[in-house]
Amino acid sequence: MTILIPHQPHFGFEVEEKGNIETEKDLIYDEGFVMPHANSFGHNFRDYDAESERQEGVENFYRTNHINQTYDFVKRMREEYGKLDKVEMSIWECCELLNNVVDESDPDLDEPQIEHLLQTAEAIRKDYPDQDWLHLTGLIHDLGKVLLHPSFGELPQWAVVGDTFPVGCAFDESIVHHKHFKENPDYNNPTYNTRFGAYEEGCGLDKVLMSWGHDDYMYLVAKENKSSLPSAGLFIIRYHSFYALHRSGAYKHLMNEEDEENLKWLQTFNKYDLYSKSKVRINVEEVKPYYLSLIEKYFPAKLRW
Ligand SMILES: [Fe+2]
Ligand SMILES: [Fe+2]
């Protein structure tokens, strides 16, 4: 792996974190893995002691997320990260990067992260043996979490994980902890607070800005590196945390026909994403050649991140 720019961009937001939001947020909402943001992860984790405190942590996480994910913030992040000037590495190297960091820092996760990624992929492979693109999508859909790593700007948790939602139009009531949007500057901005906001009926989700996180980042990486994954694979990567859409059916007025088709695949995928925490052990070395062949098929050798 070549670390090109180990810098830490400043995006002008306040990092507001409390307790061990990192850990429990991900465990609850993002199927169980996380890279430590910051120095004091271990310390915080040992201090952790109550269910009520944990829920407070989750709510605090979403409060910070909902206040800071504005239309302008998302535009800035897409511009910054769309440059892909942080790191050069292959998909497999990225899996290992996530793996190593998690191993060092989270003693409560009892299996390497790469197994979690492979569990999703292998479960899909078993049921859809002919859809090799879907196997690879399972493997890579969470790789955007490297945004938490210092080489990628070490973004705070609220800008990397958690449910995602459109910005630039009204926040749907089905979004978790919706009430905290009242403190988002866009909430009272007439350009952005109507049903369609900055968009038009049936314009297609591709035209819609989503709150910034690991989904949209990995989508940008795949697209800009000219991956030949089919449109449904890119759609899954980009919207797998968009629960308001794939669980609650909100925002359909912004979708076009292609989105409707892709949504079916996303809903299929989501089942595997959720249940991949099963304790089925995967022999990494055994399946690695298969996934390396898929990476070679759908991605150039080295990717810019
Ligand atoms: Fe995810
Ligand atoms: Fe996932």
How confident is the chain (305 residues) per 10-residue block, as mean pLDDT?
A: 43 36 37 36 40 79 97 98 96 90 49 82 96 98 93 94 97 97 98 98 98 98 97 98 97 98 97 75 94 95 90
For residue 159, being part of any structural domain is answered with: yes
Report the distance separating Cα 35 and Cα 22, nearest Å.
8
Look at residue 1 and tell me if it is in a domain.
Answer: no
Specify if 112 maps to a domain. yes
Identify whether 3 is part of a domain.
no
Is residue 8 in some structural domain?
no
Q: Can you give the pLDDT at residue 280? A: 78
Please count the structural domains in the chain.
1
Q: Give the Å distances, CA to CA, from 244 to 6, 164, 184, 252.
A: 35, 8, 18, 10
The pTM of this model reads 0.83
Q: Which ligand is nearest to the CA of 32?
A: 2
Distance 298 CA to ligand 2 centre (A): 20
Q: Is 57 annotated as a binding residue?
A: no
- Is residue 217 in some structural domain? yes
- Residue 9: inside a domain: no
Domain presence at residue 244: yes
CA distance 200 to 24: 37
Question: 149 among the known binding-site residues?
Answer: no
Query: Structural domain of residue 242, as residue ranges?
Result: 17-304
Angle at which helices 113-127 and 257-275 pack, to 10 degrees? 120
266 and 243 in contact (C-beta within 8 Å)?
no
Ligand positioned closest to the Cα atom of 139: 2
